[in-house]
């Protein structure tokens, strides 16, 4: 019987890259719509097609979906985070879960740096002003990036790339990561409270887990320097959006640069009305090079596992 690979959804124009890899391996690809379906509809498609593998971008792969195909061997994330996959349910069934952990390191770190520069140089603010017919250079309240302290919440691959790039500007760098055992070169590891109170720019580079959900809440944002910048290029659920709106309204934050939102794709109207809100639609990971690498590597991982080989990027340890 030919193995079926179910592509739940995709954040690009078509499924051509995934299809080429899967069909070249004499396997069958079934694709859902580009826009992710809700969990119940994903579960129904799994029951219908009984795939040996699930490739997923944003769509939820629930415990029920994992139980719905007796042939399932692998759930492969087209991305890094696993918060849309019921990893425990897959592990209990002996199904491997994989991701592509390093495909967008440069892109996401570039996006964070871009937000920092947009704030220090007033790029977004003054672009809006000029388009609105206002030419007011005297209103400039700009800052030298190299004179600032930047705090990185989390210090994995992407945060390390961000630190390297910020270091080139001469910034003082702090980080908080409970898994760090020693200070990285050029970066001082501190507690979260110390990072917040001493940073002009706070950049969230942490994964979304039960322990990090709303890590940046009202209490934590209140500890930040008055008029500072909060950047989130990680997962929307780590930052309490209502707390950010309140902080922008009060001036506690002069700006918030958010590529991700807990409510995405819905953007709260109050956030849209804030002049200090810089918003992009969850695209920090994206470039021509990163997307091609992501799609090909995720599909190749599926083929590898279905052929009986070990995965290169396993994220769980199914029982033998």
Nearest Cα neighbor of 256 from 266, 241, 268 is: 241
Q: Which residues are tagged catalytic?
A: 235, 264, 282
Task: Report the DSSP pairing between strands 28-31 and 188-189.
Answer: unpaired
CB 21 within 8 A of CB 300: yes
Tokens of 32: 């859902």
**8 Å CB contact between 301 and 310:** no
Q: What is the three-state SS of 12-27?
A: CCCCHHHHHHHHHCCC
Report which of 82, 8, 16 is spatially closest to residue 51, judged by C-alpha positions.
8
- Token code pair at residue 295: 């799609």
Count how many Cα atoms sit within 13 Å of the Cα of residue 14 in the half-sphere of its side chain: 4
Query: Strand pairing of 201-204 and 188-189?
Result: unpaired
Edge-first strand listing for the sheet containing 172-176: 188-189, 172-176, 149-153, 201-204, 228-232, 253-258, 277-279
Distance CA 280, CA 261 (A): 10
């Amino acid at each position: 019987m030919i193995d079926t690979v179910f592509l739940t959804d995709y954040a690009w124009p078509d499924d051509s890259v995934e299809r080429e890899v899967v069909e070249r391996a004499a396997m069958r690809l079934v694709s859902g719509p580009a826009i992710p379906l809700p969990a119940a509809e994903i579960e129904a498609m799994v029951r219908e097609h009984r795939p040996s593998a699930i490739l997923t971008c944003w769509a939820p792969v629930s415990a029920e979906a994992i139980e719905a195909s007796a042939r399932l061997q692998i759930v492969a994330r087209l991305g890094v985070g696993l918060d849309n996959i019921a990893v425990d349910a897959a592990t209990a069934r002996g199904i491997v879960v994989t991701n592509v952990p390093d495909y967008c390191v440069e892109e996401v770190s570039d996006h964070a740096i871009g937000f920092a520069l947009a704030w220090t140089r007033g790029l977004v603010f003054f672009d809006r002003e000029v388009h609105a017919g206002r030419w007011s250079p005297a209103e400039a309240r700009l800052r030298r990036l190299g004179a600032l302290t930047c705090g990185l919440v989390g210090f994995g691959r992407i945060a390390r790339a961000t630190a390297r790039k910020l270091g080139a500007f001469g910034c003082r760098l702090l980080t908080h990561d409970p898994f760090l055992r020693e200070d990285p070169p050029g970066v001082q590891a501190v507690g979260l409270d110390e990072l917040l109170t001493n940073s002009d720019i706070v950049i969230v580079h942490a994964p979304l887990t039960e322990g990090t959900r709303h890590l940046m809440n009202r209490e934590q944002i209140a500890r930040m320097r008055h008029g500072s910048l909060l950047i989130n290029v990680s997962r929307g659920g780590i930052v309490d959006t209502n707390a950010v709106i309140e902080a922008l309204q009060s001036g506690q934050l002069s700006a918030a640069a958010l590529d991700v939102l807990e409510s995405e794709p819905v953007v709260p109207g109050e956030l849209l009305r804030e002049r200090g809100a810089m918003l992009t639609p969850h695209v920090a990971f994206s470039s021509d090079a990163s997307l091609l690498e992501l799609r090909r590597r995720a599909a190749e991982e599926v083929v590898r596992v279905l052929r009986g080989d070990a995965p290169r990027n396993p994220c769980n340890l199914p029982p033998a």
